């Protein structure tokens, strides 16, 4: 997970809505050619259709779509928002957006397990949220086991 996140971490103060957050979070992956812009549309469409199921724990959203929706390479990016945004009235405290793009249905399995270890660690999530710079987040995550 750390390798995939390197160079793809951003901090933004605030955004007007969750769609904008997704677009911003996806930028590093678009710029590096890991995903196509239609992947962003696919993620947004799924959330509009099925609701914000990608907010799996209160402060973290993990938007993702299918490999065939425009993934060139399995990749991951993280956007930290200083001001929490709302995906729905109940899911309104999201500050971390983790964009996941899997090239096929099995290559990302290890990444998923690592992401799980990250998101089940409440104190680590809070530490990331309290970081003021990308450098701090990188130091925190790249040093975590």
| Interactions with other proteins, residue window 64-103 (CB under 8 A) | 64-67, 100, 102
Which of 40, 115, 128, 141 touches other proteins by CB under 8 A? 115
Q: What order of strands is seen across the sheet that includes strand 60-61?
A: 9-12, 75-85, 94-101, 60-61, 55-57
Angle at 52 between CA 47 and CA 57, to 5 degrees: 140
Contact 52, 91 (CB under 8 A): yes
Distance, in Å, from the CA atom of 145 to the CA atom of 143, rounded to the nearest integer, reads 6
Identify which range of 5-13, 28-36, 115-123, 129-137 contacts other proteins by CB under 8 A: 115-123
The sign one gets for the Cα dihedral 30, 35, 36, 42 is: negative
Q: Which range in 5-13, 24-32, 113-121, 134-142 contacts other proteins by CB under 8 A? A: 113-121
Q: Contact letters (x/-) for other proteins, 25-64, by CB under 8 A?
A: ---------------------xx-xxxxxx-xxx---x-x
Footprint of other proteins on this chain (CB under 8 A)? 46-47, 49-54, 56-58, 62, 64-67, 100, 102, 105, 108-109, 112-113, 115-116, 119-120
């Amino acid at each position: 997970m750390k390798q995939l996140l390197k160079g793809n971490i951003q901090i933004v103060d605030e955004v007007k809505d969750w769609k904008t957050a997704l677009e911003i979070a996806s930028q590093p992956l678009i710029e590096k050619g890991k995903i196509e812009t239609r992947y962003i549309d696919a993620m947004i469409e799924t959330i509009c259709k099925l609701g914000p199921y990608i907010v799996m724990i209160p402060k973290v959203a993990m938007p993702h779509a299918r490999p065939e929706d425009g993934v060139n390479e399995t990749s991951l990016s993280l956007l930290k928002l200083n001001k929490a945004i709302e995906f729905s009235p109940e899911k309104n405290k999201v500050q971390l957006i983790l964009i996941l793009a899997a090239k096929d249905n099995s290559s990302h399995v290890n990444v998923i397990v690592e992401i799980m270890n990250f998101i089940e660690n409440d104190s680590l999530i809070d530490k990331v949220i309290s970081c003021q710079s990308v450098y701090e987040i990188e130091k925190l995550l790249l040093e975590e086991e």
